[in-house]
Structure 1
Amino acid sequence: MRDITYTLPYVCLSNIFQHLEKDQRSLHSCVFVNKQWCMSAIPELWRNPFESPDQQQIALINTYIACLPHVIQQRLRITSTLTQPVTFNYPAYIRSIPVNLIFLTVMEWCESKIEAETPCERMKKELSKALCRNFLSQAAYIDCLDITSANDLNIFRLYGASSKLPQIHNLKVNNEYYSDQFKTISRLCQNIQSLIICQTEHIKLGNYTDLVKIVKAQSKLQNLSIESQNIEGFKVVWNGLVTSPHARKSLISLTIEHIYFDPTFYTKFLQQLTIFENLERIVIKKWFIDQLNQDEIQAPFREFKKLNTIIVKQYDLPLEILEPVFQYSSTTLHTLQLKRLQNYNLERVIELLSTYCHNLKKFIAPVTINQSLTIEELFKGCQQLEYLHIYHPSFDFKKVHPLNCPQYNVFNAMDVDEYLLKLKHIFPESLRTFKVYFIWFFSPSVLEKFLDGLMIGKDNGILEFCFSQGLSEEHLEVVKKYPKNNIKLI
């Protein structure tokens, strides 16, 4: 029987390969399966090549040079070092143009390939322009544009920009001022759905006015990220956002980074946050505040209508910042994820959640091993909980694999036989996923009592104890008795 994967329609293969967008090695392997797979995988492999860490940068530029018209190659006096003609028109597949990364990649190529007598600095800029111009000319459409630190290369002045760039849905800028580039964006690009504003500290406030024009021009803006080290500049952009009738209805996700609030502005900020009718997600990074005026915060605010997810990425977040956010999202908050937070008062967080957020369904947080023995209070206060994942603050999901971690010896071990049985009796009925990344000791007999009649792990859930110690064949035999619980002991 013929393998069905060899005869799938192109659209099916394309949809499959889109899920491998960040796995360049797997995508590259798919190219060599057969001709059909190659034709479907190549567009995905080349849609955003400059941001791929696995890509050979010099080879990448050589390929794109080979795709330049010969007249351009002759004018720049450059040639590709590829030994064979290119098989595809690779610029046609690009969907993201990160101007600064293109310039840096060209710079690397120039430093390794350009002859000494060639004016290298001029060549870097001219070749970068030629590549960007070719992308604008050949690409079917451009979805993402990043003009942060663009080295004075104004892409909007290149031929093809006025026809291709109005299509972009994702834009990343900072408030470094390149001529009238921001004014051009607000006039041409009005279909942006995701906007990232990376601000720097020493910028004239007048430049923020043009950023506001970009924000107000977007009728479909769903995701906004603002990094600001200049509180006065942030206030200008924030005022533009809250006075935009489009953003009030369209905004779904908001990320704010590096803000030092004064108490009066924070109170106003909270009140204005609630006017975004469809806001579902807030990401908090580096929020700081002077002493909070609790009387003003406790004044009656309008509650969030749809805010269901709060993500905190900060080592030292003052918890008083979170209390009013929890209070005014009390009925809607479903997910709380704390990242990199250390030395914080977990008991206070649980107290706030138990007081305000009875509908919480998902809780993810770094905790110490001693703090892990207090989570029953969270179960008592949040009876709708479906997903719990706690892990040691030193655990690094990106760099450390649970099976290969020499630093686990810094994690204190703890016997949890009695605690496991105690937990079982207070688990919320809705809990389906329970993941613990600590060195917990428990005996096979206690494990069997714990699993008997337990619903956790069923209905696509997971029961997972990562890097637990003292596991034996007896533990594994117990696990085999409960195949429906999706149990992982690592």
Structure 2
Amino acid sequence: MSLTSLPDECFTGVLFFLDNKSLYKCLFVNRYYCKLSIPLIWRDPFILPTPRQFSLINTLISCLNDDEISSLIPCAINFNNRTPLFKYGKFIRKIDHDYCVRHIISWLNSSSRRSYGRVPTDVSRYQDCRIRKLVNVIYHMIMREGSNIQEFVVIVNWNNFIDLPNFSTFSSFKPGIMNLKSLDIEAYLDLINDSTIYKNTIEFLSKVSRLCNSIINCELCFSRLDNALTNTFLDIIKLQPLERILIDTENYSVNFRPLERILNDTENHSEMENIEKILYALEFRSKTLNELSFRNMDFQIIGLSFLSKLEKLERLEFLECRGFVSKNYDTLSKKGFHLKELKLWHEEEFFYNTRVFNGFGSTLKIMEEIINSLCNESLYKLSLNIIAPETIKAVKESCPNLSFLHIKIFSEQDLDSMITLICEISSLKFLKIEIDHEYYASQLVKTLGDYLNFVEYLFLDFHIDLLSFEYFTKNCRANLKKWIIYIEGEEDLRKDYLKYVNNYQKVHNSLKILGINKGYMCEFDWTNDELEIINSLKDQSINIFPSDELDKC
């Protein structure tokens, strides 16, 4: 069967897996390839612009109709009008507003240089009225051409913010944003002096929840919450069938303060109340919410009882959070959770300077309580950066089916006992370990070599000295299928690391995928001796990749 006899939907599905570089090559194969490649290339055109990248705005301007072109005349915007090959606007599925503005500014700077030799006014200062006009007409054209927007990203973060167009631009055309699936909002209002510069954005956020009915992914990132922004978030949570939510409080000057200062600070206390409103509104998503992530959150005065209402929750993440209090887990312990994945990545600032590490104090006990409250036989993936024998014992007792463990270790304190306990988890198949200092890396690797049995995928995200690496490969009893090795700074010893991997494979005959630190894989500049070992590994059906292609944890 020839490719052209396949239904277009099937062939588009094949092309979907190609990167943009390959898709651009498809444009020159024939008309059929071109017709199916263009919509994929134009799904997400607003990526971070690079210098001299002006073709995007030129192409979008070529799609403007007479009325849109006429609206640019008073602003003296010069461009070469040409007939486009396609209606490119209708193919766009994702808009990143910030990147769109940056592309426009780059294009204006370029056109000014072409017209005047030098730019009389630096457009990058965001004061040029032409930016606003081009934003309006480009959005209007995209909606008018019938685009079906699936993802939208807007970042409000400084006094030169360029606002969204009036909401009528989005509501006047179908489908437009009606079928929006993903909404990413970043609002750092403490960096802005004049609230009028983002009034259209607030209007957009307040009305999008009523125009749309299928937003399933939402990221809410903010540094200061006023009532208007809080109300928009509440409406989105209450009215949309959200399956995934990320809540990120990005302001370190407000967060992570002593409890008494928070309670005595009226403005900050009001913001914490707004955050609580958002969290307790999650109850409206009890039947839909599958994944919930928190980043940079302080839970000193915020209870976690809202979690008990989320019946469908399977993935829960706490990223760089702190302020956990024991009383928050009294109600949770009575709730039967069905989490499949849990990440407890405590804020690390006060864990550094490992040589004077004095333990985690009361935080360790709280982490045990969280594990005991949230984890059970349904959990298969766990990430922790507060590790001690007590937490590992809690994991063993609460998570009998755990198959994936990602940890970060801050000290050699109790290191042997922790690694031994981890190696006793018979269900564990994936193990990733980070460390804060490499001075105890040798001890860790040798202990793994002595006790590792059940793990099939191993990623040690730190440099291992050659002697310890040799010890591990000679003594490890685990039959590794996937293995990422990290050999930073040992270019002259690279052959020896590969030799020990080859020796390991001769004994175990289990390895299928080998990841090598990308620093030495960028150009695959292997010596002849190294290539001989690599070819030997490949002859044993081992695929070799740069490590970053395998590290999806």
Counterpart of 1:384 in structure 2: which amino acid? S
The answer to whether the 8 Å contact 1:92/1:135 transfers is yes
2:106 aligns with 108
Name the structure 2 match of 1:191.
214
Task: Give, in whole Å, the separation in 1 of the partners of 2:5 and 2:434.
Answer: 44
Match of 1:212 among 234, 239, 242: 234
Candidates 248, 252, 259, aligned match of 2:290 = 252
1:233 to 259, 271, 292: 271
- CA deviations 1:415-444 (Å, max 9, x no partner) are 8896455224xx23xx32223343153587
Distance 1:159 1:235 in 2: 32
CA deviation string 1:304-332 (max 9, x = no partner): 52222123554348555533331222213
One of 439, 442, 445 as aligned partner of 2:464: 439
Match of 2:429 in 1: 386
Report if aligned partners of 1:194, 1:224 keep a CA contact under 8 Å in 2: yes
Q: Please give the alpha-carbon distance, in whole angstroms, between the structure 2 residues aligned to 1:111 and 1:463.
A: 48
How many residue pairs align between the two structures? Answer: 447
Q: Does 1:24 align with 2:45?
A: no
From the superposition, tell whether residues 29 and 349 of structure 1 become closer, same or farther in structure 2 (CA, over 3 Å). Answer: farther
Match of 2:204 in 1: 181
Alpha-carbon contact 1:96-1:142 (below 8 Å) kept:
yes
Q: 1:417 to 1:137 in 2, by over 3 A?
A: closer
Is the Cα contact below 8 Å between 1:166 and 1:189 reproduced in 2? yes
SS in structure 2 at match of 1:456: coil
| Equivalent pair of 2:184/2:220 in contact (CA under 8 Å) | yes
Q: Which runs of 5+ in 1 are unaligned?
A: 395-409
Comparing 46-55 with 90-99, greater Cα deviation is found at: 46-55
CA contact (8 A) 1:416 1:442 kept: no
5 Å-filtered alignment, 1:141-180, equals: 141-149=148-156, 151-158=162-169, 161=172, 163=174, 164-174=176-186, 178=199, 180=203
Give the CA deviation at 1:156. Answer: 1.6
Match of residue 375, structure 1, among 419, 426, 431 = 419
Distance in 2, matches of 1:131 and 1:245, equals: 38
Change (3 A) 1:439 1:368: farther
Q: How many angstroms apart in 2 are the aligned matches of 1:53 and 1:335?
A: 37
SS, match of residue 439 in structure 1: coil
Equivalence for 1:354: 396
RMSD of equivalent CA atoms: 3.7
**What's the TM-score, normalizing by structure 1?**
0.77
Q: C-alpha separation between the residues in 2 aligned to 1:477 and 1:7?
A: 50
Identity in percent = 20
* Distance in 2 between residues matched to 1:217 and 1:378, nearest whole Å: 43
Tell me how far apart the structure 1 counterparts of residues 110 and 471 of structure 2 sit (CA, whole Å). Answer: 65
Q: Which amino acid aligns with 1:59?
A: S
| Residue matched to 2:383 | 337
TM-score (norm 2): 0.69
1:222 aligns with 2:243: yes
Gaps of 5+ in 2: 190-197, 252-267, 352-362, 517-553
User: Aligned residue for 1:279?
Assistant: 313
Cα distance change, pair 16–466 in 1 and its aligned pair in 2 (3 A): farther
1-structure distance, mates of 2:510, 2:30:
39
Q: Deviations over 1:135-155 (max 9, x none)?
A: 111144111122332623244
Tell me: CA distance 1:446–1:112, structure 2 relative to 1, closer, same or farther (3 Å).
Answer: closer
C-alpha distance in 2, partners of 1:383/1:478?
Answer: 22
